[in-house]
Amino acid sequence: MARRPLPRILSSGSASITRSREIARTAADSATDVLHPLITVVRGLRLLAVSGRQKWVATPKERRGPKLFLAAACVLVVALVPYGPILALITVMGAAAWKGRERTPVRTGPDESETARLRSLYEALVPYFSTADDPDPLFAHGGDWSKAFDAYAFDQDGRLTSLRISYPAYFMDGDPAARSRIEQLLHTKSGRGREYHFGWDEEANRLVLTVLDALSTTVAAQRFVTAPGETVLGFTDPDSVSRTVPVLDGDTTVDASPVVWRTGGRSTEPHLLAVGQPGGGTTTLVRSIALQALQNGDVIIVDGGGSGEYAALTGRNGVLAVESGLGGALATLEWAAHETERRLITANLARQSGRPAPDDIRRPLWILLDRPGVLGHLAAADGRPDPQELLRIPLRHGRAAQVTVVLAEQFDALDTLTETVRTHTRARAVLGPASPEQIEAVLGAGPHTTPPPEVPAGRGYVRLGAGPVLRLQVPATPDPYDDATSDAHRQAVLDLLPGRGDPREAAPAREPAVVVPALRPRRSAGCRPPRPPRSAPGPPPRPAVPPPRRRPARSP
């Protein structure tokens, strides 16, 4: 069957019709651009009229008469004032233009992509937050996700930054396994490559998911504003601690949230254990603690790894010994045990006689051990006692004697730690990449955050006693004699190092990693090991200035 030809109007006039539509559309756009101020003013006048009518309707009848009288009086005054009508007209036009301006519409809800993401997350949580016996389930396939998600926020890329979830009361939120399943699901569905914090509110049956910002790694070693007996282990999230300290971050001074570890006679966590992978930052943490302890205390360092990471501290004022050999380490730790006993006896005698404790036992003594498991293997092969056995007295009685012990070990040698070390090191830190099981095994509790996508040196978690698990970033404290250290960090560490015992001895540009002879005690019956030589005394005190003579009073 042959097709009929189109009418002449439709076949020949299609081009002219399209051209006419384009001309009309262009004319309308031009007219809109030209008349845009007038359209804005007319829209504003309409909105002002509507607003005025609403206020007039809302006014009680007994108040309409006074309002009319006041409006008439204002109109009369404007009419009598010179140029009053013109000024009134300009004012009304300005108010109408401001009222009728085009405003950006305010978002009142998620867009399509964000709604799809929330819907997908809701459907994924249904098998975990629902049961077949629930007559009115909060989570159900095809249900309303807005009832379960109370609050949410997205970033510019459309990814979740915070989410508050209401879950049923029968969910076992006290079971760590059930919690970990929910956290793993939210971490997977919300996007990897970020660190999330999960806040469980068991009383209100709510779970708050928050995306955490990365901790700053640019804060170098420096003098922190702390009280005596306080040590800054690193920095954490601002909402995790209720204290800030001013720190120098590059060339600017900012307020950072520190993790403060308190030692001394009133501390509940007098000793610290740091565990990590190779290159995780445990040596950096020990070096940072040593620099802070040297402000008002003495330090003994035992480097079990023998890598020479503490060569810069050799011969410094307040550094009693830096040992890396088995013989020197055993002699130094034996002296530390006798020193702890001496301090306890001296303090007890002073307390019984009613006198204050001498200054030599009030000065803090720090025992820093890096990788003691290596020395333990050497001691076992040589038939000598484990160096950790010599820490029994400082660990048990160090708090009363102002003696603090800090140990750093790696995960592969964690089983070499003695029961005494595990029992008395209540302050724990885990640095470097680690699984949630490893973190929980060291700290006694798992973190409420997901592992970070990238773990820089000195990044990890810390727990002081029975407190919460906090994120931790140790300040950059590298070995100043390392060639890979930046000039800024090297200079920051060198500025914190105390002077040497002999001021006439010039510090070399680079010291070799040598073993310093140990402070070996005398082995005579009934005589305690002598205390190692203290640092060089400071300048003699200035003589007191006599008080000025008082002139006699004149008689009136």
In a domain, 167, yes or no: yes
CB 460 within 8 A of CB 436: no
Q: Verify that 207 and 275 share a domain, yes or no.
A: no
Residue of 272, 292, 282 whose CA lies nearest to 463: 272
Q: What pTM did the predictor assign?
A: 0.72
- Tell me, yes or no, whether 191 lies in a domain: yes
Same domain flag for 207 and 236: no
Same domain (yes/no): 95, 122: no
Residues 290 and 359 placed together within one structural domain of the fold: yes
491 within domain boundaries: yes
Q: Do both 120 and 95 map to the same domain?
A: no
At position 117, the amino acid (one-letter code) is R
Tally DSSP H helices, then E strands, for the chain. 15, 16
Residues near 232 by Cβ (< 8 Å), separated by ≥ 6? 224, 226, 245, 258, 259, 260, 261, 288, 292, 475
452 in any annotated domain:
yes
* Residue 530 included in any domain: no
318 in Cβ contact with 535 (< 8 Å): yes
Cross-sheet strand order for the sheet of 149-154: 149-154, 160-166, 206-212, 195-201
CA dihedral 136, 138, 143, 148 (to 10 degrees): 150
Q: What is the pLDDT of residue 98?
A: 83
CATH code, domain carrying 437 = 3.40.50.300
Instruction: Give pLDDT, residue 528.
Output: 41
Count of the separate structural domains present in the chain: 3
Are 337 and 244 found together in one domain? yes
Q: Tell whether 186 and 324 lie within a shared domain.
A: no
Residue where a domain terminates, one of 181, 211, 241: 211
- Regarding whether 124 and 237 lie in a shared domain, the answer is no
For residues 366 and 490, membership in a common domain is answered with yes
49-54 long-range contacts, CB within 8 A, separation 24+:
none
pLDDT at 508 (0 to 100): 37
Q: Where are the alpha helices (DSSP H) in 150-217?
A: 176-190
The 3-state DSSP class for residue 337 equals helix
User: Is 442 inside any structural domain?
Assistant: yes
Supply the pLDDT for residue 107: 60
Last residue of one domain, picked from the residues 74, 101, 128: 101
- Give the domain range for residue 271: 230-496
| 94 and 118 together in one domain | no
Residue 551 belongs to some domain of the structure? no
Q: What is the pLDDT of residues 369-423, one digit of tens each?
A: 999 999 999 999 999 999 999 999 999 999 999 999 999 999 999 999 999 999 9
Q: Report the SS3 class of residue 208.
A: strand
> Do the domain assignments include residue 489?
yes
Cα–Cα distances in Å, from 295 out to 180, 229, 366, 493?
43, 11, 12, 14
Distance (Å, whole) CA 225 – CA 206: 38
Structure confidence by residue, pLDDT tens digits, 199-210:
999 999 999 999
Alpha carbon dihedral 100, 101, 107, 113, in 10-degree steps, equals 120
Distance CA 516, CA 512 (A): 11
How much is the pLDDT for 26? 76
Q: Are residues 88 and 135 in the same domain?
A: no
The amino acid that residue 224 corresponds to is F
Do 175 and 254 lie in a common domain? no
Low-confidence ranges of the chain (pLDDT < 70): 1-18, 29, 31-34, 103-109, 501-556
Q: Under a CB-based contact definition with an 8 Å cutoff, are residues 313 and 322 in contact? A: yes
Q: Which of 464, 479, 496 is the last residue of a domain?
A: 496
Q: What is the CA radius of gyration of the chain?
A: 38
